[in-house]
Structure 1
Amino acid sequence: MDSQLDQLKRMTKVVADTGDIEAIRRYQPVDATTNPSLILKAAGLDSYQTLFKEAIAYGRSCAQDKAYGVPFACDWLTVGIGREIQQVVPGLVSTEVDARLSFDTEATIHKARQLIDLYKQQGGDPDRVLIKIASTWEGIKAAEVLEKEGIRCNLTLLFNFAQAQACAEAGVYLISPFVGRILDWYKKAEGREYSASEDPGVVSVSRIYNYYKQYGYQTVVMGASFRSTGEITELAGCDCLTIGPDLLDQLAGSSEPLEQKLFGDSPVCSDEKTILNEAAFRWAMNDDAMATEKLAEGIRNFARDQEKLEQLVADLF
């Protein structure tokens, strides 16, 4: 019997949620995602030390003043790690915009264009890049502009159905609804455990997937932030699932039969198609304590890790 990972790959595109090149080589995913937390972790790996030095040299060439040069160096390092990953995976690599720009549409657009230009400078393939942006209203509007320019986007930190609706209407290439973080909130709020099939994160992603398929949206659904293999197997059949090395290990080590749960040609959808304006979007978010709290927390955490990366670079600048 094939491993659960091999079975899953036949029904869902598997994406590596890591910046570790060796882990990516081991599991041979089609695509890979990164974020500031993963870039910070990857920056400490021996395999990236040459790239780290190159990034500092680039930052100095852009600005001798440390305060101005460090952000350039961090962008170079982030793109450099993405370029290295591109040499290992055949598909797409997600590279994230600074989370501190999450509420600034124009700044997000500008930063996305800079990252794509850096991929070109470093000899990477900009056509195999997804620019990763937080699913705020401002981030979704930035993605709408970028998509029209041919820059494909991955809208991350997505916890709420309204976020998914707005992303679809904006023509976003891909969304990353966060399964495990939704579960974390409900476990804490309600003081109970959930089976994989009733997991609130699993239910949320299934609902979004079925809504997209029912109404013909082309936006790709990529479940993310998993806490267990049970969450993953309950979403077998989803367009994509981005999975960390530990859970990839567990899937590779199991030969239990894997049943497909989501089907694009026969979605189970009871939601009516809705187009949200800004006021309706903001009310839907305000009315959802979980989504409001987890989005804010996720942006803060990514911003803190970006600041730690900048400090790491600044110490050697």
Structure 2
Amino acid sequence: MKFFIDTANLSEIQAAYDLGVLDGVTTNPSLMAKEGIAGEENVMAHYKAICDIVDDKVSAEVIATDFEGMVREGEELAAIDPKIVVKIPMTKEGIKAVKYFSSKGIRTNCTLIFSVGQALLAAKAGATYISPFLGRLDDISASGVGLIQEIKQVFDNYDFGTEILCASIRHTMHLVECAKLGADVATCPLSVIVGLSNHPLTDSGLAKFLADHASANNAPVGA
């Protein structure tokens, strides 16, 4: 499974990259706004700064909702750096844009997926990634993980090249469940990636090792 970090914060991206497990980055207009990035020139420069940190696969989202606008913005984003993946919303116009970019060899991430039908359309159009939103489905008492399972079954039936990128991941078990189902990518906050390393038995086991070492060597614990 590939690990992407879902943020526009450069420090968090650098921290995830330094862990040695980061495969990419996803962003959206809300994450950009959270970092106070506004204005086309500043947004473009920020995307370039992200690309300079990571090895590949930086999802940059279009703002336009019409086909022509998506194509124009997507081509501008793709020109920033070869690492850019153009992020397109799941709409009728968005599907047309995904098909256009696919024909041009430009990678796409079709976002805001909430049904198997939407995932199927995006895959048929040639999306590089589709982004089903687990957490937002859970918020309305639907099963986000269940959607991943259904999409995986359909994609396996037809051997689509489109990768399932699990988004709106809220906690480590979301990520683990997606991995068990064979999803290709998980994008999540830094806290979820780091959270995978945590276990109380690891903490207590390490504390015991250190205490035994200190006792055997007549040294203070932690010395």
TM over 0.5: yes
CA distance in 1, matches of 2:69, 2:3: 31
Among 227, 233, 236, the residue aligned to 2:176: 233
Higher RCO (CA < 8 A, seq sep 6+): 1
Residue 129 (structure 1) aligns with:
84
Check the 8 A contact 2:132/2:165 in 1, yes or no: yes
RMSD after superposition: 1.9
Alignment of 1:84-103 (within 5 A): 84-98=49-63, 101-102=64-65
Runs (4+) off by over 4 Å: none
- For structure 2, the 5+ residue unaligned runs are 203-223
| 1:40 lines up with 2:5 in the alignment | no
Contact 1:180 1:226 in 2 (8 A): yes
2:46 maps to what in 1? 81
Q: CA deviation at 1:256?
A: 8.1
Supply the distance in 1 between the matched residues of 2:131 and 2:24 (Cα, whole angstroms): 13
Structure showing the higher strand proportion among its residues: 2
- Asked if 1:156 is matched to 2:111, the reply is yes
Aligned to 2:144: 201
1:13 aligns with 2:6: no
Residue 107 of structure 1: aligned partner: 69
Shift of the 256–40 alpha-carbon distance from structure 1 to 2, 3 Å rule, reads farther
Please state if 1:212 is matched with 2:155: yes
Rounded Cα–Cα distance in structure 1 between residues aligned with 2:39 and 2:95: 24
In the alignment, is residue 144 of structure 1 matched against residue 137 of structure 2? no
1:250 corresponds, among 192, 195, 198, to: 195
Identity of aligned residues (%): 33
What is the Cα deviation at residue 42 of structure 1? 2.1
In the alignment, the residues of structure 1 paired with residue 149 and residue 89 of structure 2 have an alpha-carbon distance, to the nearest angstrom, of 21
How far does residue 150 in structure 1 lie from its aligned partner after superposition? Answer: 1.7
Bigger radius of gyration: 2
In structure 2, which of residues 13, 22, 27 is the aligned counterpart of residue 24 of structure 1? 13
Tell me by how many angstroms 1:92 deviates: 0.7
TM-score (norm 1): 0.58
Aligned residues: 196
Report the CA distance shift for 1:255/1:95 in structure 2 as closer, same or farther (over 3 A): farther
Once the 2 structures are TM-superposed, how far is the Cα of residue 178 of structure 1 from its aligned partner?
0.3
One-letter code aligned to 1:247: V
1:255 Cα deviation after fit: 7.8
List runs of 5+ in structure 1 lacking aligned partners. Answer: 1-11, 45-72, 120-124, 188-199, 258-317
8 Å contact from structure 1 (residues 109, 143) kept in 2: no
Q: TM-score, normalised by structure 2?
A: 0.82
Structure with the largest fraction of helix: 1
Report SS of the residue matched to 1:91.
Answer: coil
Letter of the 1:39 counterpart? M
Out of 164, 171, 190, which is 1:221 matched to?
164
CA distance in 2, matches of 1:16, 1:256: 27
